[in-house]
Amino acid sequence: MSPATIFISHTHTDQAVADAVRNAIFELFGRESVTVTYSTSRELGGGVPIGEDWFRWIGEQVHKASVTLVLLTPTSVQKPWVLWEAGAVYGAALTSEDSTLRRVRPLAFQIGMDDIPSPLRSSHAQVARGDQYEDIKQLLDEFVSDFFSDVNEKAGFIRAAQRVPVAAKSLLETASEALRTSPLIPTEPIVNEWCTRLDNLTEHHRHSEVRQLHEWLLVAFGQSKENGLKPIDIRLHRRLAQLYMASAHYIEAAQQFELARRLSPRDIFVMRSLGQAYLAQGNYPDAARVISEIEKLDPRAFIKNAECAALKGRWHREQNQHTEAHDIYAKAFQENSDSYYLGDLLAVAKLQLGDRHGAADIYRRTLSIIERLPDRNFWIYATAANAAIVNGDRTGAIEYFSSIRDDNPSEADMQSIEGGLIRILPLLGTTTEELAEWKSLLHEGPAEA
């Protein structure tokens, strides 16, 4: 048998398929008669040596290979390296003195011919179906014919030819199982499908189910928390983070926003949400780090943007730095005079500084803003209720409470609204009994006579 080297071009997630191909080749020729190399091989001498330049190693393999099998799977056709390796093989074939062997053989699994990358589809390389027994058998028969070129090797040729049916069947079964259990890659249709599932939880206020759906998502994409999470798609991480925030799991929310940030490191919207998640868990050092990084990207972010101002103001407020929080809200409200959200924050900051008259004035301006809004939600009603309470309008506050309940907020949202109520009432001199009454009015409405 003439010495032969087979190089398998594949993507990392298709390692099990590459293993199946290698084992089938060894079934025919034995481990001593043929060398099989590929980047993820754990065989001694079959993979990239420790410390070796990976890029150079790939080039050397494709240059000296007798034949290269290009594994085309639903995963690999999304990756550019398979095409690069195939191109390197063609270059090596053109400069080789021996051009008799079939130097490039694409082996397609579970994809249509239209899914095969155009450079391979339009070339003269014959594509074999790795998911069809007859194609695999024909490919292995060709290997036997090519590698046993000497008439003196007739006995070895016969033995290898007799093993072809068993090796082909084994390859078909093993590769099919490997592809069945291989992790998904974040293609657009797959990501959209998972986004729809996560959006469904949000739409139906089933935030508490996020952990289970998240676990299944990790299974689908071949990840585990024990081995460390890797970014998948920013849309998935953002939705997961928002669901975790809504279910008051703030540590998990921050983890998802961090993964989203790794995919888009200069996205201030993601950074702002990450800072909010850190504040929600009382992690002030990490929140400060995020605030500082936002400021480096846009020094005026905390004046121009209401949410950014709320983030930085809250960081000061929760550390009893009320003057600093007030100044941030005041500058931002001056810049965004139609923001009912900033009006609420500024009014509360004035209450915390003992300026009840100023707070009432800001709340009256805030109610004017709300009256001009075409649409309402429970956050707007909550702000309006706070404004009514500070201005002594008990009836109006009760009506706004009713609108909040009609909007069916989540448990976490309701806790947040109650937190805002608890924050302002003591600043008005409300007694413990009166505070309990207000909380009852929020959750249940006035008792029937």
Asked whether residue 49 carries a pLDDT value surpassing 80, the answer given is no
Domain with 239 in it: what CATH number? 1.25.40.10
Hey, what amino acid is at 60? E
Tokens of 357: 């008259």
Structure-block tokens of residue 197: 């599932």
Domain that holds residue 141: 4-181
C-alpha 412/C-alpha 206 separation (Å) is: 11
Alpha helices (runs of H) in 148-283, residue ranges in sequence order: 154-181, 188-203, 210-220, 234-246, 250-263, 268-280
Is 126 found in the same domain as 111? yes
Number of domains into which the chain is organized:
3
Q: What is the pLDDT of residues 188-210, one digit of tens each?
A: 888 999 999 999 999 998 988 99
271: CB partners within 8 A, 6+ apart? 261, 290, 293, 294, 297
Among candidate residues 181, 210, 243, the one where a domain is terminated: 181
Domain of 141: which CATH number? 3.40.50
Same domain as 206, residue 95: no
The secondary structure of residue 14, as a DSSP letter, is G
* Same domain assignment for residues 250 and 362: yes
Does the pLDDT at position 120 exceed 80? Answer: no
For 257-288, the pLDDT digits (tens) are 999 999 999 999 999 999 999 999 999 999 99
- Residue at which a domain ends, from 137, 163, 181: 181
* Whether residue 177 sits in one domain with residue 95: yes
Calpha distance 348→363 (Å, rounded)? 9
> Are residues 202 and 310 located together in one domain of the fold?
yes
Closest CA to 272 of 257, 283, 256, 252: 257
* C-beta of residue 342 within 8 angstroms of C-beta of residue 359: no
pLDDT at 247 over 60: yes
Is the same domain home to 34 and 127? Answer: yes
* pLDDT value of residue 151: 43
